[in-house]
Chain A
């Protein structure tokens, strides 16, 4: 079934170009490790216009990582104005320290044991709650950056006038050398609608 194909490139009168372009897209997506992030890709290129339309459906992204996901928090011993962060996973220590230093200053962060970080702060009662909700690693943001990077690599280099939409569900890119026409945007929207319909009817 054509609808099931992951990448389809359509280019009137340029069959060879379309085949090679499909290869370029799959190379770029795999280079940037986006193969599992982007579910389906539909591309329409017409070099006589010239216009390049890219529509991609995204998988639901990974959730952000909060401190409470990998650590237990409590207030320090009696008489000490401290929050203690007991780490269950060491993977996020660099990002965690970076964020803590930024918020409390280096002098107030005591990291003497590998899995224990103490934060000196006068408002330790409130800070315990604020800290447990703190976002340490934002996977979605990083993936967004990579998607934008992949777009810039995929579209022909000379097409510098661009129109784009990017949401958690899809990416839509229209690029050309000339001012973007409404009909191209409409065509992109139609491709997107068809793609979304196809996926929801399959589900």
Chain B
């Protein structure tokens, strides 16, 4: 079992940690260097976490658990207007990222209003590419319960809804969980109860992701996504030219490769493993709705018959 962890510390000698994690058979999922600071999200074999902790102490860094690592989460707002941004939406997305998730903000084109709100096919497909969707709604109970569930039509991934009023956690139709005390506000979320509500939201998201991982674990994936990421990085040099912060994004069921589909999907399919298996044999490679990227869905053992 691999433990998701986040390292925050200085750039100086952080390579020692990278090498240690790789030597232990773990993976570096994300490395952001900001001037003299570095933030790394990594997967570490559970029985070796103490070694990583010792190294972190030596480097005077900080190590925290990042329970949402390896998941891609859609943060869905009715629109991207100043009614929702930057406060609340960005704050929530930031909070999810701090726990290791990769978030994408989705602003619907016609998500506003109660009677008039709607979602279109493209937006639906885009949201369905994620592992989980967090819908951010407003201050009125009637609106959240009666009108907004229209926006969940056709969404196949788990849905977490946030809003201001007190509603039972299963009180919103077709949503998995509702988290209260997170309504539409025009200031930065930093008061005690607001932070508490966001912690609660993250906890709920974590619970759902744990359940999803458990479900995936029942029928194991033919190969672990972080391993595919490593192989793509080694075998497709063009990925190094990609300027996105996370050229290969991990999803629970596979990964998203931020290269043009038409040009690179065959090359990605040809990525091979030492066992003599090619990626296209154990994964579906399809087009993403997001900027023509490549989506890789790894097939489970029940379909391929083996795990590498």
Contact = CB atoms under 8 A, between A and B. Distances in A.
Interface of A: 11, 13-14, 16-17, 20-21, 23-24, 27-28, 31, 45, 47-48, 50, 153, 156-160, 177-178
Given A13-B142, A16-B164, A157-B79, A177 B116 contact: yes
B97 interface: no
Nearest to B138: A156
Contacts of A16: 139, 141, 164-166, 183
Contacts of A28: 186
B16 interface: no
B135 to A, nearest CB: 15
Given A27-B187, A157-B83, A21 B139 contact: yes
Secondary structure dominating the interface of A: loop
B187 A159 contact: no
B185 A47 contact: no
Contacts of A20: 139, 164, 183-185
A153 B186 contact: yes
B83 A153 contact: yes
Contacts of B184: 20, 24
B81 interface: yes
A50 B83 CA distance: 18
A13 B140 CA distance: 9
B186 A24 contact: yes
26 contacts: A13-B142, A14-B139, A16-B141, A16-B165, A17-B139, A17-B165, A17-B183, A20-B164, A20-B185, A23-B185, A27-B185, A27-B187, A45-B140, A50-B115, A153-B82, A153-B83, A156-B112, A157-B83, A157-B113, A158-B78, A158-B113, A158-B117, A160-B113, A177-B114, A177-B115, A177-B116
B165 A14 contact: yes
A177 B147 CA distance: 13
A157 B165 contact: no
Task: State the 10 A-B residue pairs at the shortest beta-carbon distance, nearest first.
Answer: A158-B113, A27-B186, A158-B112, A17-B139, A157-B112, A16-B165, A17-B140, A47-B140, A157-B83, A20-B183
B83 to A, nearest CB: 4
Contacts of B114: 47, 50, 158, 177
A17 B144 CA distance: 11
Interface residues of B, number: 26
B143 interface: yes
Given A24-B184, A156-B112, A177-B115, 11 more contacts: A14-B141, A16-B183, A17-B140, A20-B185, A23-B186, A27-B186, A47-B140, A157-B81, A158-B113, A158-B117, A177-B116
A134 B285 CA distance: 70
Interface string B68-91: 000000000011011110000000
Contacts of A24: 139, 184-186
Given A16-B164, A157-B113, A177-B114, A11 B140 contact: yes
Interface in B103-151: 112-117, 138-143
Given A20-B184, A20-B185, A27-B187, A159 B143 contact: no
Given A17-B165, A157-B113, A177-B114, A47 B82 contact: no
Identify the interface centre among A28, A47, A158, A177: most chain B CB within 10 Å of its CB: A158
A153 B187 CA distance: 13
A34 to B, nearest CB: 13
A148 B142 CA distance: 27
Nearest to A25: B186
Nearest to A23: B185
B141 to A, nearest CB: 6
Contacts of B183: 16-17, 20
A16 B112 CA distance: 20
A63 B143 CA distance: 43
Interface in B259-306: none
A171 to B, nearest CB: 18
A71 B185 CA distance: 46
A14 B142 contact: yes
Contacts of A31: 186
A62 B84 CA distance: 32
A17 B141 contact: yes
